[in-house]
Structure 1
Amino acid sequence: MDLKLKNKVILITGGSKGIGLALGKYLANEGAKVSICARNEAEVAAAVEQIKALGTDAYGAAVDVTDQESISQWVSDSARTLGGIDGYIANVSAGGADVEESGWRRNFETDILATWKIVETLLPYLEKSEIPSIVNISSTAALEAFAGAVPFGAMKAAMLNYFGNLANVLAPQHIRVNSVSPGPVFIKDGAWDQIKQAMPEVYESTVAAIPMGRMATAEEVCAQVALLLSPVSSFTTGTNVVIDGGFTKRIQY
C-alpha cells in the first residue's frame, strides 16, 4: 500500500534510539523526510546518518525538550532544512521509575509540558500542510495497572486525555491527532532486553501474560504509526490504537 508519505516531513522527539529511531527508519523507507531530536548530540548524528542511508533527507539536533528556545530552534531549523512540516510523533519520555518528587517533576516536564510546548510551536507549520497529523506514543501502562504507582503510567494516561481533546480542538483545521499504546516491545539493547538480562523472571512472566506468546517488534508499532500519519487515514482522529498482542485484558468497544 502506498501511504502517500513520500517527501512529507515528519518530526520525532526521542528519535536517536529505540522506537524513535525505528520510526525514523520506517518512515524513511516510505519516502518521508525525517527530523529527530534527542539529548545526546553524538547519538543524534549517528541516527541521522542511519536514516539518510535509506535514501531520504534527514535532519537532527541535540535538544533539551524542557527548554522553549531549544524546541523553537529545532522546529524552525527542521522546517527550513526539509521544506516545511507535515507530521509530528510525540515519542519523548523521561521513563518514570523514580517515585520521588524529583521523578514526578521530571516526567511532568519532559512528557507533558514539553510535548505541549512542541505542539504549540508546531501548529503554525502544520496549518500550512496538506496532510497535517500528530501521533502520540503512549503505552498500555496508561490503561491498566502495571509496574506500580510510578510517574510513567500516570503521565501516559494524562497524555491520552490531552491528545484526545486536542483532536477535537484541531479537527476544524483538518489537523488529525491520534495515539498508539504499545504493550511490551522488545528492541535489542532496549529496556526489555536489559530486563531480560538483569531480571529474567520478570521478562518471562511478562511474556507469559501476552496471549500471542511474545513481545511486539518495533516495526509492528511503526506500521500503525505510519498508517495514522498517512492521508490514507484521512478521516481518523481522536483514536487510541492498542498494540499489545492481547496483553491488556479489558474489553475494547
Structure 2
Amino acid sequence: MDLGLKGKKAVITGGTRGIGRAIVDILAAEGCDVAFCARKEDEVKAAVQAVSATGAKAYGGTADVGDGDSIRGFIADAAAKLGGIDILVANVSAMGGGNEESAWRASVEVDIMGTMRTVEAALPFLEKAGNGAIVAISSVSGIEISADTVRSYNTVKAAVVAYMSNLAKAHAGKGIRANTVSPGTIYFEGGVWGRTKINDPARYEHFLKKNRAGRMGTPEEVARAAVFLASPAASFVSGTNLVVDGAYTNRIQF
C-alpha cells in the first residue's frame, strides 16, 4: 500500500530512541522530511547523521517538552527548516511509575502539559498544511489497570487519549486529524523493559508471561501503526485510539 507520505514534513518529539526513533526511521523511509528532538544533544546529532545517511532530509534539535519555551522554540525551528509541518507525533513521557507527589508532578508536566504544548505550538502549521495529522503515543496503562498500586502513569496516559479525542472533534473542520496509539509491553535495549530485564528479572518474567503472544512487542511494530495513522492512507480515521499490544489487554475493543 502506498501511504502517500512522500514529500510530507513530519515532526517527532523524543525521536532518538525506542518507539520515537522507529517512527522517525519509517517516516523517512516512506519519503518524509523529518525533524525530531530529544534532551541529549549527542544523541540528537548521532540520530540526525544516521537518518541523513539514508538520503532523507533530517533536522534535529534539543528540547524539553516540560519547558514551554523550549518546545515552542523547537517546533518553530522545525517548521522553518522543513518548510512547514504536515505531521506531528507527540511521543515523550516522564514514565512516572510511582504515587509520590514528585512522580505525579513530572507526569502531569511532561505527559499532559508537554503533549498539549507540543500540539498547540504545531497547530498553526498543521492548519496551514490543510490536511495535517497528529498522533500521540499513550499506553495500554491508560485503558486498563495493570498493577495493584496507584500510579501516576496510568492516569496521565488516560488523559492523553481523552485530549486527542477532543482535538479530533475540535479540528476536524480544519482538515486536521488526531489519533492515539497505545502500545503494550515494548522491549528494546535501554528501554523500560530492557532495564527491567537486567535490574528486576522476576518482574520482567511476570509481565512477559502476561503476553499471550509469548513475547513483548518491538518499537517498529508500534511505529508502523503510528505512521499509518499519520498518513493520507488513514484520511478518514480520526479520534481513535489504536491499541498495539499483541492481545495483552483484557478489555473488549469496541
- CA distance in structure 1 between the aligned counterparts of 2:138 and 2:246, rounded to whole angstroms: 16
Quote the offset at 1:67 in angstroms: 2.2
Q: Deviations over 1:4-54 (max 9, x none)?
A: 111211111111211111111111111111111111111111111122122
Structure 2 alignment gaps of length 5 or more: none
- Measured after TM superposition, the shift of residue 130 of structure 1 is 3.9
Secondary structure of residue in 2 paired with 1:93 = coil
Matched residue, 1:4: 4
What whole-Å deviation, never above 9, does each CA across 1:113-148 have from its counterpart, x for those lacking one? 121112111111001114300001010011111243
TM-score (norm 2): 0.96
- Provide the C-alpha distance between the structure 1 equivalents of 2:98 and 2:45, rounded to a whole number of angstroms: 29
> Aligned pairs, how many?
253
Q: Higher mean Cα deviation, 85-94 or 51-60?
A: 51-60
Letter in 2 for 1:211: R
Alignment of 1:231-250 (within 5 A): 231-250=232-251
Q: Percent identity?
A: 46
Tell me the residue number matched to 2:144.
Answer: 144
**1:106 maps to which residue?**
106
CA contact (8 A) 1:180 1:242 kept: yes
Distance 2:81 2:179 in 1: 26
Match of 1:192 in 2: 193
Which residue is equivalent to 1:22?
Answer: 22
Q: 2-side partners of 1:13 and 1:153: how far apart?
A: 21
Q: What is the CA deviation profile of residues 132-165 of structure 1, one whole-angstrom value per residue up to 9, with x for unaligned ones? A: 0000101001111124311111100011111111
Q: In structure 1, the residue corresponding to 2:128 is in which secondary structure?
A: coil
| Bigger mean CA offset, 204-213 vs 85-94 | 204-213
In the aligned structure 2, how far is the partner of 1:172 from the partner of 1:61?
Answer: 32
| CA apart distance, 1:246 | 0.8
Shift of 1:92: 0.5
Q: Counterparts in 2 of 1:161-240, with a 5 A limit?
A: 161-240=162-241
Checking the alignment, whether the CA contact within 8 Å between 2:20 and 2:223 is kept in structure 1 is no
Moved over 4 A (4+): none
Tell me if the contact between 1:131 and 1:230 (Cα under 8 Å) persists in the aligned partners: no
SS of match in other structure, 2:93: coil
Matching of residue 48 in structure 1 with residue 48 in structure 2: yes
Coordinate RMSD, CA, aligned: 1.2
TM-score, normalised to structure 1, is 0.96
